[in-house]
Structure 1
Amino acid sequence: MIYTVTFNPSLDYIVSVNGFELGKTNRTDSELLLPGGKGINVSIVLKNLGIDNTALGFMAGFTGEEIQRRVEEIGVKADFISIEDGISRINLKLKNIEGTEINGQGPKISKEKREELLQILDKLKEGDVLVLAGSIPSSLPDDIYKNIMKRLEKKNILIAVDATKDLLLNVLEHHPFLIKPNNHELGEIFGVELKTRESVIPYAKKLQEKGARNVLISMAGEGAALVAEDGSIYLAEAPKGTLVNGVGAGDSMVAGFLAGWLEKHDYRHAFHTGIAAGSASAFSEYLASREEVQAVYEQVTSKEYKEQ
């Protein structure tokens, strides 16, 4: 079974406002209300690809109930821990003002509720897959991902981590199966600017040296790169298509990679499926369907990089 963890799930209120003006009353031209959070996005894409999974996390108030209802409506099993105080966050995303969003804070997670989640994770067994994705609320310690991995490290569970900065660096010593920084996040870790596929390779290998088994780097329109555990390195251009909605594209790539790996245990196939899923979601109003992923997969090509 695959499990995803979203510590701070949300209701994403995605709107377009033509001619948006500050200081004035603006009216929406379109509206979309969706369950959000990186782990939830991974769960939804996995389900779209035909893979049953369970979404774990926390929910609070009427927004939490609506997040759970919508996740289950899609067909994902939601096993969220209920928090009595506060409400799960609402994130406002202005669709036609690229990159503009206002994200809520979310409820405070007590030590007792955190322990409840850890006890659920203790039940995972060999062969299971765990996805730890996204930022964490300020009420949680910044080594929570590391502590979860340490707690599970003898169970032979495949763990994917999609996080940034210290949250990511802290887990490397516990050998995550997959990490997926984008080129900007990778550059930020090492204090460099990375613009080409070839330029990310030495820094991805540094993360591998620190303990990561597979390093998948998303680069938006520049494509993607994979430094795999078996020593192979793959580079791919971005598939052709029109960007419709970039929200969830990186999460879709994680889901696609895991789906491809579980299907064939082949890194090139996993890489291609990850690229196809990420791109298909970017070309869609919402997260990509199985048919959309398959259509994009047909145009994905990659080359194996050989170091000089």
Structure 2
Amino acid sequence: MIYTLTANPSLDYIMRVDHFETGETNRARECELYPGGKGINVSTILGRLGHENTALGFVAGFSGQELVRMLADRSFEKDFTDCAGYTRINVKLKSGKETEINGCGLELNPSNVEKLESRIRGLNGNDVLILSGSIPAGLDSMFYRHLLDLLDENVLSVVDATGDLLLNTLERHPFLIKPNQDELEALFDQKLEFVEDLARAARKLQDMGAKNVLVSRGAKGALLAGMDGAFYTASCPQGKLVNSVGSGDSMVAGFTAGYLESKNLEKALALGICCGSATAFCKDLAEYADIERLQTQSPVEIHRFTL
């Protein structure tokens, strides 16, 4: 079984406003509400690819209840822990440029964390654990590392996080980490202009413990530093960018599904790119038909190289 963790989920309230002006009364011409959270996005795409999975996480208050209700018809199991406070509501204002205001997270107590820890301890060598996104206030940057410490050594782990939350997991040798290019540059505090620069930075993360490092690059595709010692670049299919939210999560889901199906890094990368691109070309997360269409109409070009 594949398990995803969304420790700090959200309701994403999207408001589209023409000619937004600060300090004035602005009226939205369109509003939408979506369940948010990186792990939830991964679970959604995995389900649409036909992979059974269970979403773990914390929810709270009326907003948490609405989040669970909105996920009811998605094809994955839900095993959320109820907490105090409220599941955060993030406002995304779209008016030319996009402005985001992320709400405060929920309030965890030790029993909430202990319940999750017990669930993690129960995973076995046939399972996969995907840790995605931010964590609530009150938890420190060792949280994901601590969860990996609880795992059976044969469980495949995937980490999609930033900064120390990611770096602290590397000694536990996650199967896959997925920084985007901006996040990779922030980790090493330098601009990485060329593919070779990205490859060397990704290799440093492998030297620190990661087995595979997948660097998403938006319209430029992705770079993979593989556990076979090679690097792979993948092109991005052509299409109109509609919404980039969830694209990286879709890539994680596609790569994981592709590897479980084939045990082949190139096939995993190709499916990851298709899933990420399909979501970028849709208003919301891609459906299976969107992914299948890209696979048929715009095959991903992959190039292998070494340094």
TM (norm. structure 2) is: 0.96
Equivalent residue number for residue 183 of structure 1:
181
Equivalent residue number for residue 150 of structure 1:
149
How far, CA to CA, are the matches of 1:117 and 1:225 in structure 2? 33
Match of 2:215 among 203, 206, 217: 217
Equivalent residue number for residue 55 of structure 1:
55
Q: Deviations over 1:257-284 (max 9, x none)?
A: 0011111111001001111111110110
The amino acid that maps onto 2:257 is: A
Secondary structure at the aligned position of 1:139 is classed as coil
Q: Deviations over 1:201-246 (max 9, x none)?
A: 0010000011100000001122210011112211122221111001
Q: CA deviation at 1:186?
A: 0.8
How far, CA to CA, are the matches of 2:223 and 2:269 in structure 1? 8
Q: CA deviation at 1:200?
A: 0.3
Q: CA deviation at 1:185?
A: 0.8
Q: Cα–Cα, structure 1 residues 102 and 6, in superposed 2: closer, same or farther, change >3 Å?
A: same
The amino acid that maps onto 1:64 is: G
Equivalent residue number for residue 230 of structure 2:
232
Secondary structure at the aligned position of 2:273 is classed as helix
Secondary structure at the aligned position of 2:282 is classed as coil
Asked if structure 2 preserves the Cα contact closer than 8 Å seen for 1:6 and 1:39, the reply is: yes
Asked if structure 2 preserves the Cα contact closer than 8 Å seen for 1:223 and 1:237, the reply is: yes
Secondary structure at the aligned position of 1:152 is classed as coil
Describe how 1:97-108 pairs up with structure 2 within 5 A.
Answer: 97-108=96-107
Equivalent residue number for residue 199 of structure 1:
197
Structure 1 residues 145-154 or 159-168, which shifts more?
A: 145-154
Secondary structure at the aligned position of 1:72 is classed as coil
Is residue 169 of structure 2 the alignment partner of residue 171 of structure 1? yes
Describe how 1:23-62 pairs up with structure 2 within 5 A.
Answer: 23-62=23-62
Report the count of equivalent residues. Answer: 305
Describe how 1:1-308 pairs up with structure 2 within 5 A.
Answer: 1-83=1-83, 85-154=84-153, 156-298=154-296, 299=298, 300-307=300-307
Q: Deviations over 1:21-80 (max 9, x none)?
A: 112222222222111011111111111111121110111011101111112222221110
How far, CA to CA, are the matches of 1:61 and 1:184 in structure 2? 34
Asked if structure 2 preserves the Cα contact closer than 8 Å seen for 1:41 and 1:251, the reply is: yes
Q: Cα–Cα, structure 1 residues 168 and 99, in superposed 2: closer, same or farther, change >3 Å?
A: farther
Asked if structure 1 preserves the Cα contact closer than 8 Å seen for 2:123 and 2:152, the reply is: no
The share of aligned pairs that are identical, in percent, is 48
How far, CA to CA, are the matches of 2:111 and 2:60 in structure 1? 15
How far, CA to CA, are the matches of 2:126 and 2:96 in structure 1? 43
How far, CA to CA, are the matches of 1:6 and 1:257 in structure 2? 18
Secondary structure at the aligned position of 1:294 is classed as helix
Unaligned runs of 5+ in 2: none
Asked if structure 1 preserves the Cα contact closer than 8 Å seen for 2:19 and 2:95, the reply is: no
How far, CA to CA, are the matches of 2:194 and 2:44 in structure 1? 30
Asked if structure 2 preserves the Cα contact closer than 8 Å seen for 1:4 and 1:133, the reply is: yes
Unaligned runs of 5+ in 1: none
Asked if structure 2 preserves the Cα contact closer than 8 Å seen for 1:95 and 1:245, the reply is: no
The amino acid that maps onto 1:275 is: I
Secondary structure at the aligned position of 2:165 is classed as helix
How far, CA to CA, are the matches of 2:232 and 2:218 in structure 1? 16
Cα-Cα RMSD? 1.3
Q: Deviations over 1:69-126 (max 9, x none)?
A: 112222221110011x211011111234444111111211112211111011111111
Secondary structure at the aligned position of 1:239 is classed as coil
Secondary structure at the aligned position of 1:73 is classed as coil
Q: Cα–Cα, structure 1 residues 76 and 213, in superposed 2: closer, same or farther, change >3 Å?
A: same
How far, CA to CA, are the matches of 2:95 and 2:195 in structure 1? 28
Displacement over 4 Å in runs of 4+: none
The amino acid that maps onto 1:16 is: R
TM (norm. structure 1) is: 0.96
Structure 1 residues 256-265 or 289-298, which shifts more?
A: 289-298
How far, CA to CA, are the matches of 2:74 and 2:173 in structure 1? 32
Asked if structure 2 preserves the Cα contact closer than 8 Å seen for 1:71 and 1:77, the reply is: no
